[in-house]
Chains A and B, each alone.
Chain A
Amino acid sequence: KNEVEQSPQNLTAQEGEFITINCSYSVGISALHWLQQHPGGGIVSLFMLSSGKKKHGRLIATINIQEKHSSLHITASHPRDSAVYICAVRSGDMRFGAGTRLTVKP
């Protein structure tokens, strides 16, 4: 069993919809990262969390340390949000989820 599990694996939404991507992990962590991988392959760090909630524009990330769970929310989704979203945890080294492929249709 992977130490970092993401759901769903694939997600298709209509423009404007509210999106939630979930991440559960089974190890003790010092931080959790949400990454965005563009269709061209490049990876960008969106958030780094160790507790609570962070917001950047239309993106919100939350983490519940006791439940070992994090969510990434996208409000008012747009086709340019189409990408693979990857959850990663720092437990010693980095451990990555398999990613959630999001497609937002106009």
Chain B
Amino acid sequence: EAQVTQNPRYLITVTGKKLTVTCSQNMNHEYMSWYRQDPGLGLRQIYYSMNVEVTDKGDVPEGYKVSRKEKRNFPLILESPSPNQTSLYFCASKVGSSYNSPLHFGNGTRLTVT
């Protein structure tokens, strides 16, 4: 089944403790991206990647890192999480060659930083 898999679904952590949220897709998509969703603000893009070893900042990259060493994986790293990073996070992927191909979303990761 074609899908985008995020792990974990829920995560509670403390300020300053490094964490990684994993994202994997099995559709051979070139494009992958991370979003956070906050009440009243909608989805905002954190980072995106057009292909392996190519990553770019989105609207709200501060406090986050990403890597794209393999086509299928695009982990989101929080080196020193803070409470303002408490949010619902989504990974998504799409065929990179077309501006107009649909996004496929993961099921989300709800992160709480205390």
**A and B physically associate:** yes
A residues within 8 Å of B by Cβ?
2, 4, 30-31, 33, 35, 40-45, 48, 50, 86, 88, 90, 93-94, 96-99
A-B pairs with beta carbons under 8 Å apart, 10 shown: A4-B42, A30-B99, A33-B103, A35-B103, A41-B110, A44-B105, A45-B104, A86-B43, A96-B42, A98-B42
DSSP majority for the B interface? strand
Is B97 close to A, CB under 8 A?
Answer: no
A31 in contact with B104 (CB, 8 Å): no
Q: 10 other contacts beyond A94-B33, A96-B43, A99-B42, with CB at 8 A cut-off?
A: A30-B99, A33-B102, A35-B103, A41-B107, A42-B107, A45-B104, A48-B102, A93-B48, A94-B45, A98-B41
A93 in contact with B58 (CB, 8 Å): yes
- Minimum CB–CB distance for B82 against chain A, Å: 23
In the complex, residue of chain A having the shortest beta-carbon distance to the beta carbon of B105: A43
Is B84 close to A, CB under 8 A?
Answer: no
User: What are the residues of chain B within 8 A of A4 when measuring CB–CB?
Assistant: 42
Encoded as 1 (CB less than 8 Å from any A CB) or 0, chain B from 65 to 103 comes to: 000000000000000000000001010100000011111
Is B29 close to A, CB under 8 A?
Answer: no
